[in-house]
Each structure stands twice: as C-alpha cells, then as structure tokens.
Amino acid sequence: MQASRSAGRSRSVATAFRLATVLTLAAVMAGTVLAQEYGGRFVVGRSGAPSILDPQKTGESAADEVLSLVGGSLMTIDPDTLALGPGLADSVEQSADGLTFTFKIHPGVKYHNGDPLTAADFKYTYERALDPATEATVSGDMLAGVESVEAPDDYTLVVHLKEPSAVFLRNLSNSGYLQPLSRRAVEEAGADYGRAPVGVGPYRFKEWVAGYSITLERNPDFAWAPYYLKNQGAPYPDEIEFRYLPEQGTLVAALEAGEVDYADVPAVDLALFQDNPNFNVYSSLSSGIGLEFIFNLRDPIMADIRVRQAFNHAIDKQFFIDRVVDGHGIPATGVLPPSLPGYDPDSAATDYDFDREAAGALLDAAGWTMGPNGVRAKDGQPLTIRIVAYTVSQMVLASELLQNQLKAIGVDATVESYERSLQMPMIIEGDYQIAPLSWTYDDPDVLYFLAHSSQHPNGLNLGAVNDPELDRLLDVSRTTLVDSERMLVFHDIQRLMNENAYLAPVYVQETFSAANKRVEGLRFTAIGAPLLQEVWIAR
C-alpha cells in the first residue's frame, strides 16, 4: 500500500483559530477514541544521529525530531491544513500595531521533573535563547525579532516585538527548538543538559546509547495534546526508540527483519517494500531542500562568483537524480522547492544549465587555466577543492558524483566524510569548501536562517553569505504581513541567490518511508514527518 503524505496550504491566523475552536469542540462532542492498545516499543530507524539535545544549541533535524516529542509549543499547526492553532497557550491577543502578543498559558501542564509550567518558564526560555552567551542557533533565529518578554502572573505571557512579523506566531509552533525549558533542570544539569533534556511533552527522555540509539518513554501524566488529535491523553507506546544506522544497507535490512518498525526508504530500495504485504509505503515530494551543495564564501577560491557559477554549470542534475534517488525527483531550479509556498516557477530562467563549455570559460576568465595534467591552475596553484560530507550513504554518493563532475572541468576535487557530530563543527568553523545539505521545513522563512548575514557565524548561514540586498529582501519578507505579497518577495530572493550562485541546487526528491503492517495510527505532518502521538502496535 502506498499513500500520499502531502498537505494543504496555510490560512490566516484568524481563520486558523476559528478552525481550531471548531475542531476542538467537535472532538469533545465526539468523546471517543479508537480502542487502541497501550504498550510496546515503537522503533524508528534513522541514518543520522544528533550531536546534542539542548534545543537552543542545535539546528540538527535529527535533534528536532527527538525534541519535538519531549517538548511542547505555545502554538501548533494542524498537519492536514497547515492552519495555525492553540498549543500550550489557550489564547493569544495581538495589539493593533502588531508589536505585542499576550498569551494565556494552559493551566495544569507539568514538566517531566514534576515542576508546573508557568509563564515565567517561557520568559526564561526566550531570554536564554536571546542571550549571546548561549550561542543559540535555530531558537535564537526564530526569536530574533523579540524586544522583551514579561510574565505578569503564572499564566500570562507578554511578548513585545521590535517590528511586526509575518512569521512570529508560526515560529512559536515549533515544539523542538522553541519548547519551554525548566530553569531548575537546566541549572542542575549544567553542561550536561544536552544529554538528558527535560520537557512537557508526551514522552520523557530515558536513555542515550552514544552512536546507536535514543530511547524515550511515555509520559503517563500527559493530558494536553494538540487539538487536532483524538487521543488527548498519554501516548500509546511504552517507548519510542530512535535507532541510528548510518549504512543504508544495514538500515534497510533492519526494517525488513522487523528490528525497526518505521524508516525512510531510499528510492533504490523501494521495490523491497512496495509490493511486500508486510509493509505500508508512504510518499511525498520533499518540503524542503532535497539536495544542494553549499559553498564556503570565506574560502578565497569559492569567494569568486565565476568559480561558483562554473561549478553550477558543471552539474548534470538529471544524472544525480538517476543515480542517487533512482529517478524519483525533479531538478531543483533554486533554493525553494515547488512543494513550498513562495516557490518561483520562473526560477529556471536564472538557474544554470548543464554546460561544461560555459563552466570552462568562466574558470578561464577567473584565471584558472587547464594544465597538461588535466588540472587547472592559477599562479602555480592547482585548483584543489575539498568536499566535506557526512556519513549518510546518499550524501557520500552525491559528493562523489560532484567530485567526478568537477574533475571533468579540470578541478582536483576530493571527498572527505565524517560522522555528523564531527562534520557539522567543521562546517561551522569554515573547514571546508563545498558541503552537501538536505533539510526539511514548512515555510520559506528558512532562507533567513540560511542566508542572512546576521546568521553567521552563530547561526545556520554556514556558507557565510553577506549580501546587503539579500539581507534587505529577507528583512522585508519578515515584515510583509499580506501573505500573497510576502511570497512575491521570496521570488526576488530566489532570483538574487541564483544570480550570485551562493549555492548549487541539485534536486528535490520524492521521499519514501515504510512501516511494518503492525504499525497503526501513523499520520504525517505537513512536512512529511511522522506523528507519533497516536501510533500503536497491533498485537
């Protein structure tokens, strides 16, 4: 069986809250939950493990996947409609000038250590993320527009913004990076907090076996699930285990053998599960960066726009699609995929076609001339490029394909691969020239994190992009409150990023996952991530 996991587009905040109210009342009136069974362990197979679980000190999707189950969020997004609704806040009021938000916190919520959740916790959390000493990554970026935070009583939170924001409330729906933190838990754990987080979510942290697994256990006291779920109480499985198997063959074999219950499946292995009666297969077009190569603009070679443009021309995107994802993808024409709002269908006009002659001409113009050994050189220096990948088979294969395509235009390219926990610090420190990147998200505002100059070095602008016009457009995208107008700003952003070749977009893949037939109640979020609150294991 194969099913789609796509979702509709977002609605206005006002419409979202009306929808949330209707859905909440309907769930209460229905008053029924299917007779699922509690118990068992649900094992999720993953290729990459997180390096830290402090939500304010990570930008890794592997960490966010775990943390979103450990934590909660003020707002929430309906997985089917993308509508914004109430989460840990029962209500929110926005001032007429759009600068002040007043939230009423849901009473009775408790942390895993027994402490009650109060407005003061959100104040502490947000101020910690905004404190430069924390060196926060995604959480700090999401809160960058906050001027000040007040907690006048236990259940009232007031947030003042520096300027109106089109994305502020939507950012607050992230239960991973922006979950409330227990000051007591953070201060007691100190530097070790990132190894054993404490949240308010449906699952409690249990165990981390380095390099192998992270296990969460059911929070029996959980009674504040998002409004769109039928099960408003504790989740069904006793435990959720994330098992990390970086080798593609090993992960696929574990899924086939029933050692893991659910995993993403590479397109090349899809046939093993598609016609297998013991599995359900799910698919969607990736709602984020499928594959792109980021360039380190701090490097003197990559700082030359002609080199970056030449490398874009050197890439045969269809060849990557055929070899890496077995034909299940489309060529990327810019940094945004067609599955996201803000995608510019005319971005192909500023994209780079596969043209080795054009690539060679650009390198000649940059002074890198072909030598008798087939390697270009400039002032006696060979054109040597380091591609630094992480040890996920798809990323390593893609990097090797790029290596070969760059060699075809006279570049002495090498590939190095490291565990994610080693590769990411290298990228942050600029110890690379090219690196592969794949990331899932549900709003084009992610481009602010990836390309605004304020997000380097303490952010996700890993390529060190510093473009005043791009900064201006990204700032405008955050203050344009009319959604249709905001999306047109992203059209200009994509054009500018293409013209300056700040990265090399390659493809947007169709993504697949498979679950053992004994898995019931599996749903997906708008960005294709599994919702595990109502999963249960049939016996």
Percent of the chain with pLDDT over 90: 71
Whole-angstrom distance, CA of residue 291 vs CA of residue 395: 8
Rounded average pLDDT over 378-397: 94
Q: Which residues of 178-204 are buried (b: 16+ CB within 10 A; e: fewer)?
A: bbbbbeebbeebeeebbeebbbbbbbb
Q: For the ranges 17-26, 41-50, 153-162, 259-268, which has the lowest average pLDDT?
A: 17-26
The 3-state secondary structure of 253-309, one letter per residue:
HHHHCCCCCEEECCHHHCHHHHCCCCEEEEEEECCEEEEEEEECCCCCCCCCHHHHH
For 48, how many CA atoms within 13 A lie in the half-sphere containing its CB?
Answer: 26
Rounded average pLDDT over 370-395: 95
- Residue 429, judged by CB atoms within 10 A of its CB (0-12, 13-18, 19+), counts as exposed
- Give Cβ neighbours of residue 351 (< 8 Å, ≥ 6 apart): 312, 333, 334, 498, 505
**Given a cut of 80, is residue 17 above it in pLDDT?**
no
Q: What are 135's two structure tokens?
A: 């060196």
According to the model, what pLDDT value does residue 84 have? 84
Domain 2-261+518-537 has CATH 3.90.245.10: no
According to the model, what pLDDT value does residue 3 have? 56
Mean pLDDT (the chain) is 89
Domain span(s) for CATH 3.40.190.10 in the chain: 2-261+518-537
Give the DSSP letter of residue 30: H
Conformational region of residue 116, where left means phi above 0, alpha means psi within -120 to 50, and beta covers everything else: beta
Length of the chain: 539
Model confidence, pTM = 0.69
Percent of the chain with pLDDT over 70: 93
CATH homologous superfamily, domain 288-511: Dipeptide-binding Protein; Domain 3 (3.10.105.10)
Query: Is residue 150 within 8 Å of 157, Cβ to Cβ?
Result: yes
pLDDT digit string (tens) for 303-313? 999 999 999 99
Domain span(s) for CATH 3.10.105.10 in the chain: 288-511
Angle at which helices 393-407 and 317-324 cross, to 10°:
150
- Give Cβ neighbours of residue 323 (< 8 Å, ≥ 6 apart): 397, 401
Strands 369-370 vs 376-378: parallel, antiparallel or unpaired = antiparallel
**Given a cut of 80, is residue 151 above it in pLDDT?**
yes
| Three-state secondary-structure class, residue 342 | coil
**What is the band of 7 on the pLDDT scale with cuts at 50, 70, 90?**
very low
Rounded (10°) CA dihedral 139, 140, 141, 142 = 50
Is the bond preceding residue 457 a cis peptide, omega within 30 degrees?
yes
- C-alpha angle with apex 167: 181 to 50, nearest 5 degrees? 45
**Given a cut of 50, is residue 329 above it in pLDDT?**
yes
pLDDT digit string (tens) for 103-127? 999 999 999 999 999 999 999 999 9
Residue 278 identity (one-letter amino acid): N
Question: Tokens 């595990």, residue?
Answer: 532
**Given a cut of 60, is residue 354 above it in pLDDT?**
yes
